[in-house]
Every structure is written in C-alpha cells, then in structure tokens.
C-alpha cells in the first residue's frame, strides 16, 4: 500500500527567521501523525536552519531545485551533494515555474527566457538525484492553452517520457510524480476532482508501461491550489497519493489540516 505524502513548496517566501517560526508552529501540530510522510521545501538559504528545526521530527527536508553537475564554474547553481550535506532528502524537479510556464504570470513575458528548464535538463536532474540516493519529485502538467487544445494527456506523457528517458525500473523506485495543471497554480482554480484522478490514473498507466510493480509503488501527487477545503476529496481518489502544496503550506494550521486530510 502506498503511504500518503504531502509536500509543502514555500517557493520564494520567508526569511530564515520566518522559516524557523513556521516550522516550530507546524511541527507541534503534526508531531502525533505517523501515517503520512511530510516534506517541506524552503528556499536554498533556509535549508540549514529548517533542517536544524526538523531534527527529531517525522518531517523531511526538500529542495526546490538542483543542478545536475557535481561541481564547477556554474555560478548560482547548487549540486545534489550540497543539498545532501544540509540534510535534504527530496527535491522538486521540473516545476512549471522553472520551466517558465506560469498559471499566473507576475513577470514580464520578455523575461520568460530566464526560466529555461527543458525536458532534457529535467532528465539530467532526475538522474543526478537518483545517483545521490535522493528522491526526485518530478512535476508534470499542461497549460490552459494545451488543455483547451485537447493536448493534456500528450503533454503529460511527453514530459514523463523525456524526463525519465534512459532510466530503468530498478533506478526509478524512489521516484515521486506530481501532476500540477499549470493553469491551477497560484490562480485559485483547482482541477475538478474527477479530472485530477483521471490524469493521475493516466500517469500510473504510463508507469505501468515500465513495469506493473513500479506503477503500484510510485506515489502520484496532485498540486495546484490545494487547500484544506478541497484536499480531502482530492486525496480520497484511488490514484492520488497526496499533494504538492504551494501557498497553503505557508500557513501552519492550514498545512496541518491538509496533512490530516491525507491520512
């Protein structure tokens, strides 16, 4: 049986002091929970501080991104071994915002080339994380235009196929997949529960093409305006094993209620 997983993505929010305060409030609320895996992903700068705050708890530390090279002249990048050194066990890969695919655009369109993630770089990052014994959380999802064009399934399949290219069943067992419809990220719009389940089932069917055992064990999360008011219905679906939570993870008690919904 797949164990529920809830991941909080703090994005570019909170100073180190604010991050520590949030963890202190949140960990007290969930310290009695032992049937759900919990991961929080603060900005790079807060990773050491948050790691220290999480010691002795059942909450794991995640990162929001990684670079695929071990070391070198890559100004501004952070390697998997650097993340591991500060206690990171999980890492988001290919989030729509690193791909330059925004549900709610708050930067100029002329700057979107700055967000240059591709399926090739996603694949390189997944490979590096697996090599280092860490858990990649591969994010996939379609834009509003792609959905309206009837291309949701093809876009998601392509992201999975290219992102996992060259990896075999034995290597992929730690993998987590997060379905995040881009049009629902930061917009307040949530994918209809039945449709979220359909796409997550399609993701599981894709994994079944690699092996039935991998499909049965891979945890598939839903992300995109997850909040306590909709989490229970989403997490009750047979192919949704938890959530990738954005803004709601910045509220300790809201996030606690979401985690409770995944039990």
What are the structure tokens assigned to 153, written together?
Answer: 């399934």
Active-site residues, by number, are: 95, 180
pLDDT digits (tens, 9 = 90+) for 198-223: 999 999 999 999 999 999 999 999 99
pLDDT digits (tens, 9 = 90+) for 88-100: 999 999 999 999 9
Residue 32 clears pLDDT 70, i.e. is over it: no
Convert 15-39 to b/e letters by CB count within 10 Å (16 or more is b).
Answer: eeeebbebbeebbeebeebeebbbb
DSSP state of 196: H
Mean pLDDT of the chain: 95
- Token look-up 């991050």 returns 19
Residue 30 clears pLDDT 90, i.e. is over it: no
What are the structure tokens assigned to 135, written together?
Answer: 């858990």
Question: What pLDDT is stored for residue 35 in this prediction?
Answer: 86
Model confidence band, residue 28 (pLDDT cutoffs 50, 70, 90): confident
Q: What is the pTM of this model?
A: 0.97
The secondary structure element, H or E, covering residue 60 is strand 59-63
pLDDT digits (tens, 9 = 90+) for 98-138: 999 998 899 999 999 999 999 999 999 999 999 999 999 99
**Rounded-to-integer distance, Cα 68 and Cα 163, Å:** 13
pLDDT digits (tens, 9 = 90+) for 70-86: 999 999 999 999 999 99
Contact 27, 55 (CB under 8 A): no
The SS3 call for residue 220 is strand
Q: CA-CA distances (angstroms) from residue 213 to 2, 112, 123, 140, 217?
A: 12, 39, 22, 21, 6
Task: Determine the average pLDDT of the residues in 44-61.
Answer: 96
Domains and CATH numbers, the chain: 5-37+44-245 (3.20.20.70)
């Amino acid at each position: 049986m797949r164990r529920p997983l809830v991941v909080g993505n703090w994005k570019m929010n909170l100073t180190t002091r604010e991050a520590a305060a949030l963890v202190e409030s949140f960990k007290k609320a969930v310290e009695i929970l032992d049937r759900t895996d919990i991961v929080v992903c603060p900005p790079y700068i807060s990773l050491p501080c948050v790691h220290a705050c999480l010691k002795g708890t059942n909450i794991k530390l995640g990162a929001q991104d990684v670079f695929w090279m071990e070391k070198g002249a890559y100004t501004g990048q952070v390697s998997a071994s650097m993340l591991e050194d500060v206690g990171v066990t999980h890492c988001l890969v290919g989030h729509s915002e690193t791909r330059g695919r925004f549900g709610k655009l708050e930067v100029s369109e002329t700057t979107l080339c700055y967000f240059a993630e591709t399926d090739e770089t996603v694949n390189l990052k997944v490979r590096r994380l697996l090599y280092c014994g860490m858990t990649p959380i591969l994010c996939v999802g379609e834009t509003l235009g792609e959905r309206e064009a009837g291309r949701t399934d093809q876009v998601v399949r392509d992201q999975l196929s290219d992102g996992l290219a060259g990896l075999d069943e034995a290597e992929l067992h730690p993998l987590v997949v997060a379905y995040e419809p881009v049009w629902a990220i930061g917009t307040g719009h949530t994918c209809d529960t039945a449709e979220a389940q359909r796409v997550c089932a399609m993701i599981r069917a894709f994994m079944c093409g690699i092996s039935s055992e991998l499909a049965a064990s891979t945890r598939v999360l839903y992300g995109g305006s997850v909040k306590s008011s909709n989490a229970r219905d989403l997490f009750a679906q047979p192919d949704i094993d938890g959530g990738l939570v954005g803004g709601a993870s910045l509220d300790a008690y809201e996030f606690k209620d979401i985690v409770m919904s995944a039990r």
